C-alpha cells in the first residue's frame, strides 16, 4: 500500500479526477471500458460543456431510485459490496429510536429477528446474509435498550 495522501475531493467529478491522477488514465480506461475522452468527461466540472454524469453520480441515482421503490436492503447490500474492497461496512447515521410504544413490545420485536438469524445460520446461508441479519437483530435489540432506558428515566429508576 502506498503512503497516505491528503485528498480534499468532495464532489464526484473531483473524486473521479483524483482517481485518474492516482491510477493514471490508462487504468481508468481499462476499469470503465471507456476511451480517454469519456474518462475526461467524467473528471470535468459540470460547468464544462463536455461534462457527463460519472459512474459515482449514476450509482447515487440508482440507489436513490431503488430506495424510493422500497428496496433499501438491496441498496445496503450493494453499498456493503462496494465497501468490502477496503474492509468496511456502511453504518446508519441516525440514532436508534424505538418503533414500539412499550418496552414489552420492543422485546417482542426482537424475537423474530433473532429467529431469522438462527434460521439463516442453520440453513448455511451466505455469510453476507447472516451478517446483514445480525445487524438487523442488533438494531432491534438496541431499540429495546433505548426504550428501556427511556422508561427508567421517566419512572425515576436511574
Q: Helix, strand, coil % (nearest 5) of the chain?
A: 65, 0, 35
Q: Which residue has the higher pLDDT, 94 or 66?
A: 66
Res 3 pLDDT > 60: no
Per-residue pLDDT, 158 = 66
39-82 tens-digit pLDDT? 999 999 888 877 889 999 999 999 999 999 999 999 999 999 99
Question: Burial of 54 by CB count in 10 Å (0-12 exposed, 13-18 middle, 19+ buried)?
Answer: buried
Residue 31: which pLDDT band, with cuts at 50, 70 and 90? very high
116-145 tens-digit pLDDT? 999 999 999 999 999 999 999 999 999 999
Residue 102 has what DSSP assignment? S
Per-residue pLDDT, 92 = 82
Residue with cell 445480525: 134
% of the chain at pLDDT higher than 70: 96
Per-residue pLDDT, 63 = 97
Per-residue pLDDT, 127 = 93
Mean pLDDT of the chain: 92
Residue 85 has what DSSP assignment? G
CA distance 158 to 152: 6
Domain boundary assignment for the chain: 9-52, 54-91, 103-154
Amino acid at each position: 500500500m502506498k503512503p497516505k495522501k491528503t485528498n480534499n475531493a468532495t464532489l464526484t467529478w473531483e473524486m473521479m479526477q483524483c482517481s485518474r491522477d492516482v491510477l493514471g488514465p490508462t487504468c481508468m480506461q481499462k476499469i470503465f471500458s471507456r476511451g480517454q475522452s469519456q474518462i475526461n468527461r467524467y473528471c470535468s466540472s459540470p460547468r464544462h460543456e463536455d461534462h457527463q454524469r460519472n459512474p459515482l453520480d449514476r450509482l447515487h441515482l440508482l440507489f436513490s431510485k431503488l430506495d424510493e421503490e422500497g428496496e433499501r436492503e438491496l441498496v445496503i447490500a450493494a453499498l456493503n459490496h462496494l465497501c468490502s474492497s477496503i474492509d468496511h461496512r456502511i453504518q446508519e447515521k441516525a440514532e436508534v429510536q424505538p418503533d414500539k410504544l412499550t418496552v414489552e413490545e420492543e422485546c417482542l420485536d426482537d424475537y423474530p429477528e433473532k429467529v431469522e438469524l438462527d434460521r439463516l445460520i442453520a440453513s448455511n446461508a451466505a455469510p453476507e446474509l447472516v451478517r446483514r441479519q445480525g445487524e438487523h437483530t442488533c438494531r432491534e435489540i438496541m431499540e429495546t435498550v433505548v426504550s428501556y432506558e427511556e422508561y427508567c428515566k421517566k419512572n425515576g429508576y436511574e
